[in-house]
């Protein structure tokens, strides 16, 4: 077999009847594989066949998709907040959280968790205060692409707002 740039060539210098059959070329890497098949059939006394294959790299996988996006919510100051989303993608996506379009990093008061087996991404704000109010985004990214879902957190001063510990609003 010979290679020139992205072309591979199998050349059979002397072909015999026992060489007849199906030849399959397989190229694989970390993102998948491609195959090409050629059939060698000998006719008369001219027994020379060559076949070449050009390969183009294709992305194999599935862009992440949110099965369950995060939901907007309203809490009183000092209460905890939990944003939860379910996402699917192949390969498994990496998750990033954003507050008002700024990348968030985990701290003792900001807890991130991603369960790869269920695709559940969780952000917990241990004690929400007025400065935590705003837009939250969950970004899922893999080699096939990325997607984002967004929700709004409203934090009311203690004693204000609707009764009950936490009210969830459906995002439109």
Would the pLDDT of 151 be above 70? yes
- Rounded to the nearest integer, the mean pLDDT of the chain is 82
Nearest 5°: the CA angle 80, 132, 140 is: 85
Assigned token pair, 105 = 């990093």
Instruction: Mark whether 105 and 145 lie in a shared domain.
Output: yes
Per the structure, the complete domain to which residue 27 belongs is given by 2-54
> Are 50 and 67 in a shared domain?
no
Is the pLDDT assigned to residue 99 strictly greater than 50? yes
Give yes or no for residue 167 having a pLDDT over 80. no
Give yes or no: residues 89 and 49 share one domain.
no
- Total domain count, the chain: 2
Pair 30, 114 in one domain: no
In this structure, are residues 70 and 84 in contact, taking their beta carbons and an 8 Å threshold?
yes
- Out of 24-33, 60-69, 93-102, 150-159, which region has the weakest mean confidence (pLDDT)? 24-33
What is the residue whose two structure tokens read 């695709």? 119
The pLDDT value recorded for residue 91 is 93
Spatial strand order in the sheet of 81-90:
62-68, 81-90, 120-125, 110-115
**Structural Rg of the chain based on CA atoms:** 28
Sequence-distant contacts of 10-15: CB under 8 A, at least 24 apart: 10/38, 10/50, 10/51, 10/52, 11/50, 12/40, 12/48, 12/49, 12/50, 13/48, 14/47, 15/40, 15/42, 15/47, 15/48, 15/49
Are 70 and 47 within one domain?
A: no
- 43 shares its domain with 117: no
Query: Do 116 and 34 share a structural domain?
Result: no
pTM: 0.59
Same domain, 79 and 157: yes
Same domain, 79 and 97: yes
Is the pLDDT confidence value at 8 over 90?
Answer: no
Percent of the chain with pLDDT over 70: 72
Task: Give the C-alpha distances (Å, rounded to integers) separating 7 from 2, 4, 54, 55.
Answer: 8, 5, 5, 7
Residue 109 sits in the same domain as residue 50: no
With bands split at pLDDT 50, 70 and 90, how would you rate the model's confidence at 109? very high
- Please tell me what DSSP assigns to residue 130: G
CATH number at residue 115: 2.60.40.10
31-64: b (≥16 Cβ within 10 Å) or e: eeeeeeeeebeeeeeebebebebeeeeeeeeebb
CA distance 133 to 74: 9
């Amino acid at each position: 077999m010979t290679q020139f740039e992205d072309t591979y060539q199998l050349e059979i210098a002397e072909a015999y009847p026992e060489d007849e059959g199906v030849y399959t070329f397989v190229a694989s890497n970390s993102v998948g594989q491609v195959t090409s098949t050629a059939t060698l059939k000998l006719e008369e006394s001219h027994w020379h066949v060559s076949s070449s294959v050009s390969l183009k790299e294709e992305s194999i996988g599935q862009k992440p998709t949110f099965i369950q996006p995060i939901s907007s919510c309203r809490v009183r100051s000092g209460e905890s907040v939990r944003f939860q989303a379910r996402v699917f993608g192949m390969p498994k996506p990496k998750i990033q959280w954003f507050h008002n379009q700024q990348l968030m990093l985990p701290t003792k008061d900001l807890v991130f968790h991603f369960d790869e087996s269920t695709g559940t991404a969780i952000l917990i704000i241990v004690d929400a205060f007025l400065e935590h109010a705003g837009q939250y985004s969950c970004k899922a990214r893999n080699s096939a692409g990325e997607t984002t879902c967004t929700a709004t957190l409203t934090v009311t001063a203690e004693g204000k707002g609707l009764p009950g510990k936490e009210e969830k609003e459906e995002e439109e």
